[in-house]
Structure formats: structure tokens, C-alpha cells
Amino acid sequence: MNSQKPMIIFVFLAIVLGPFISKAPALTIARNAKPQAVIVLAADASESERHAAAELSGFLTQITGAKFETAAVASSKNLAHILVGTGAANQTDFDFITDGLGADGIVIRTIGNNLILAGGKPRGTLYAVYTFLEDQLGCRWWSSKVSTIPKKPTITIPKLNIRYVPVLEYREPYWFDAFDPDWAVRNKSNGNRPALDAKRGGRHIYQGFVHTFNWLIPPQTYFKDHPEWFSLIKGKRTTDHAQLCLTNEEMRKELVKNLRIRLRQNPAATIASVSQNDWHGNCQCPKCAAIEKAEESPAGLMLRFVNSVAADIEKEFPNVAISTLAYQYTRKPPKLTKPRPNVIVRLCSIECSFSRPLADERNKKFRDDIVGWSKIADRLYIWDYTTNFRHHIMPHPNLRVLRPNVKFFADHNVKGIFEQGAYTTNGAEMAELRAWVLAKLLWNPNLDGRKLIDEFIAGYYGPAAPHIKAYLNVTHDAVEAASDHLGCFSEHTAKFLSFETLTKGWTHLKAAEEAVKNDPDLQFRVQVAQLPVIYTFLMRWNEMRKTAQTANADWPMPDSAQAAYDNFIKTAKQKNISRLNEWQQGYGPLDEALKRAKK
């Protein structure tokens, strides 16, 4: 038998047919600003499918200048069809199924003279439309106010056959600008906070978001008559920075009763939080202590309690999962107990250093914990931190770890990620950049993080982009060289925030402003990017002046702190920055810094 014969035939066919295969008929949907396709939307299409068709039509018009008609049935022989939604897809692809697509999975497929844009319900068709507009036509929605919509009077698309289901069921870049519902749906964010209504596919809705013990069992209501329901600490029942006594059966029944009432009042909820207060103070009574000892972690007792609550509410609320935290004292996974299928464990990275990836040896304890939880939790979520809560406006060079961290989570059985950023104000350091890059990574953790960062900078800052990138490289190189523990509560005195680093960065930022001096919109974006350096100089004004004098170095800021302050406030107010940290309204930290600088 000649074993080479099949290979010879294959090579012959490849040579003869290759040009025809590679030049498979492309699909033209617009030519010279005239429509060459009809958008098909089934008469019984869902509200989100109708919005998807409207968005597609609107953006195609912006791109091509052509106006596209919408029909309920694919019938035209002369025009292509863009089939939006499952009902429309079934008119051409009789084998079209949504099995396995879940709520968010997408299908983008060409069949003859038809393009299918559809997916799972309720959001898949929307995401198919936006993915098509992004990947095939180049649309980008950088922020709630800035987008790139290309101009292409003629659109011809190649043969497509894409089926994608995101690995993460819950995706939330928790940044202020990302709460805009149009930005959120276009960038495939489906978390709790954005105002995603039915036409935008809805969202995951929490009943009580986090730290709910005192909300479900209010101390002011129950402590007087039932002190035994609360933590025993140093021999005394207390509510002062305390938790609940999780072995008390009467308390558990009351908590379940209260939770049921709240869930009945919020029928849209898909997740209910039963989670510890935002401090330590776990109960030290003999029963609680014995279970924690047996489990080799307080998480074991917490999980037993939450499992019991989840079992109690499951029959009445089969579509609601109970969410709890693996946070601070409960972060280490238990030895014995595993979460029930309707329990979500949210593991929090608050103690980590964000100047290094979470897989780095510096973050070994957290790494070990996530590995442990990934082995026992079917629905493991992450509460991650991507800003500096103490100084929202200060340089926070964590961009290089965003992709490694998201990929690390995805590789360890994580099903949902909450990326907490500056959620109370506009204008935090590189806020729009972080929100956009995180949204892309949460949708597909395999994307190249560096390329995403570069793409955003180029799209958002235009000709200033090389200088913005150079500035960010200065701060990131500095934090790596200084080996700072870049936490989410870092001080303005961090080692990497040296006079040399800030001055070098400022040079690039001024060059960025010069590059776009004739474009007011781009110039303003650069001026917002300059605020972190001005802020840090103001916070350490006298120290920085002394350093400059000692080194006989040029002073990059205005001569007076008042002038620097005025420049900062002017841009900050134009950007609608309402606070400089997580908890304090207004510009108090800078006001105090200005007083110190004038002494």
C-alpha cells in the first residue's frame, strides 16, 4: 500500500482549489453609501433583540451613510440579510440552536448571502452585534462620552463562523464611568451596578450587595432581647465591630425570615448576600470556636451557616444564589465543608500587592487560598481591587498586572469577577483606561493586556498617545524598581513617587499636551491625565521643593502652591471630580495640603 498517495492527492487539491477556497464569496452589506442588506428581526423578537437590531442599524448608518431597512422575514433575493436574534436566524439556519450559549454566548456566522448575529438569552444577541461592530468594523466605545466609529461607505465582510461563550458569568468593572448603561452593554459588562434595563439585556441583581449581617439582623432591633445572637468577644456579647454567633439556631431562622421578606420584595434578584460585616470580630463562643478549629479556618463555620441559609431558601427561590465572602479572617478555605451548588463564594484580594501579579511569590498567601477555593467551589467569584481608595487621583501603576490577574482568576475556576475601582467619582487616575481594558479582559481573559492598553491610549489620546504611554512607563518602571507594596490604600509618600519619577513623568505629560494643543477635546483629556502628578506634588509640596533645591534641579510646577492648586481645581471641576478618595466629599486633602505648603 502506498501511504504517500493520500498526501499527494491532498497537496494536489490544495494547489488546485486553494485560490478558490481562500477567495470564498464575501458578503457586501453596503456599497458606496447604499445599503446592500436588509436587517431581519423576527416579529416575536425579545426586547433586547429589538434593541440589538436598532443599535446595529444606527451604527451601520453612522459608518456607511446608508439607511438600512428592517423586515420580519428574509425574502429579498437581491439584497443580503443580516439576521438579528434567534427567531431571525432560524429562518435561514434551520439547525440553529442556542444550547450551551447560556445568557451571554454569541454566534456570528455567514451562510450564503446571510449574516447571523444571535446568541443566548437575554444578552447574547446584543453581544453578537457589538462584537461584530468591534471586530469586523472597528467600532470602539472608550468611555461613556468618547467613541471611535469609523467611516466606511462600502462594507464587505469575509466568511465568518464564530461561536463564543465567555468563561465568566459575572463581569463588573466597578468604575464610575462604567455605570453608564450604554457603555456597559456595548462593552459586555453585566454586573450589579450599571442601569441595564430589559432592552439592554438586564444584569445580575443582588439583594443586599455585601457586608449584610447587620442589615439582616440589625443590632438596634435585636441585641437588647437577644445578645446571644451576636459575637462573644473576650467573654462579652457585643455588637461593637462584631459579627453574628453563627451556631445560634434561633438567629439563623430569624435571618432566613428577614431574607425571604426582602427577596419577595425584589423578585428580579438573582443573588442574595449573606456576608460578614466589614471588620473582624468573629464569635469566640465554645460552639463557634470548636467548629473553626475543626475546619482550620473561620471560613468553615461561615460556610456551614451560609449553606444552611441557602438550603432554607432554595425551594421558594430556586433561581437565587446565596453569596458570601472569603475576606480577611475567612479568606483561608475550610478543611471539611464545601459550598452548596447555590452558594457563591467571593474571594477578596485586599491584602495583596498590586505592583506584582497575584501569582507572584509576594502574593503567595492569596495564591494558595485561591488554589484551595478553586478545588471546592463551583461558583467562585473574585472581589479584586484596581484603584487606591486613599488617593483616587494619585498615580497607581497597576496596569501591567491587570491581564495576568484576570487570567490567573480564569485559570482557577473563577466564574465571576468584580473589579472595584473609583466608583464614587469621575476623574480618578486613568479611570476610563482601566474600565475599558478590564471590560475587554473580563469578556476574554486570553486577550493581550499590553495591546489593549496601547489600543486604548491611541484611540483616546490621539497624537498625544506616545507621550501618555511614556508617562505610564515611567511610573510603572518606578514602582517595579522601588519594589513598593502597591496596595489599595497606598500612601502619597510611597517610595516610587520620587521627585525624579514625577518630574520625568511630567515632562512626558507636557509633551502630550503640546501634541494636541489644537484639539480642545484631546487637550482636556491630557490635562485630566496630568492631575495625578500635580496632586502628588501638592501633597508633598515643601518636601519636593527642598529636594529640587538640594539637587539643583529645575522645578516643574508653578512657583506657588496656590497656582498649582488653582490649575488642579479648574480641570477637576470641569471633569466633575467630586472627591479625591473613597469616603470624603470635596477637595479636603488638597485644601489641607495647600495650608501646609503656605507655612
pLDDT tens-digit readout, 31-61: 999 999 999 999 999 999 999 999 999 999 9
Cα 74 to Cα 96: distance, rounded to the nearest angstrom: 15
Q: Which residues contact 273 (CB under 8 A, 6 or more apart)?
A: 206, 207, 208, 209, 210, 211, 212, 322, 323, 324
Q: Hey, what's the torsion of the CAs at 273, 279, 284, 289, to 10 degrees? A: 60
pLDDT of residue 74: 84
How much of the chain, in percent, has pLDDT values that exceed 90?
93
Examine the pLDDT at 544 and tell me if it is beyond 90: yes
pLDDT tens-digit readout, 162-197: 999 999 999 999 999 999 999 999 999 999 999 999
Bridge partners for 343 per DSSP? 322
Tell whether omega for the bond before 181 is within 30 degrees of 0, i.e. cis. no
Examine the pLDDT at 11 and tell me if it is beyond 70: no
| Residue with more model confidence, 23 or 526 | 526
pLDDT-derived band at 76, boundaries 50, 70, 90: low
Examine the pLDDT at 105 and tell me if it is beyond 70: yes
Cα dist from 289 to 223, 245, 325, whole Å: 21, 10, 19
Q: What is the pLDDT averaged over residues 154-166?
A: 97
- Cβ–Cβ under 8 Å, residues 98 and 143: no
pLDDT tens-digit readout, 112-141: 999 999 999 999 999 999 999 999 999 999
pLDDT tens-digit readout, 215-274: 999 999 999 999 999 999 999 999 999 999 999 999 999 999 999 999 999 999 999 999
Phi/psi region, residue 102 (left: phi>0; alpha: psi -120 to 50; beta: rest), is left
pLDDT of residue 27: 95
The alpha-helical segments, DSSP class H, found in 352-498 are 364-376, 399-410, 431-443, 449-461, 465-482
- Cβ–Cβ under 8 Å, residues 202 and 123: yes
Query: Per residue in 178-214, is it b (16+ CB within 10 Å) or e — as a string?
Result: bbbbebbbbbbbbbbbbebeebbbbbbbbbbbbebbb
Nearest to 323 by CA among 395, 239, 408, 263: 263
Cα 349 to Cα 382: distance, rounded to the nearest angstrom: 8
Examine the pLDDT at 404 and tell me if it is beyond 90: yes
Hey, what's the cell of 376?
471546592
Tell the residue number behind the cell numbers 465568518, with chain if given. Answer: 160
Task: Decide: helix, strand or coil at residue 38.
Answer: strand
pLDDT of residue 576: 97
Out of 68-72, 89-93, 558-562, least confident range = 89-93
pLDDT of residue 1: 39
User: What is the fold, at CATH topology level, of the domain defined by 27-165?
Assistant: Chitobiase; domain 2 (3.30.379)
Cα 512 to Cα 506: distance, rounded to the nearest angstrom: 10
Q: What is the pTM assigned to this prediction?
A: 0.94
pLDDT of residue 489: 96
pLDDT of residue 293: 98
- Cβ–Cβ under 8 Å, residues 346 and 331: no
- Host H or E run for residue 118: strand 114-119
CA angle, residues 189, 193, 198, in degrees to nearest 5 = 70
Domain map (residue ranges) of the chain: 27-165, 173-199+349-599, 205-346
Neighbours of 279 (CB within 10 A): 13
Cα 188 to Cα 440: distance, rounded to the nearest angstrom: 8
- Cβ–Cβ under 8 Å, residues 501 and 474: yes
Cα 212 to Cα 154: distance, rounded to the nearest angstrom: 55
pLDDT-derived band at 599, boundaries 50, 70, 90: confident
Task: Decide: helix, strand or coil at residue 456.
Answer: helix
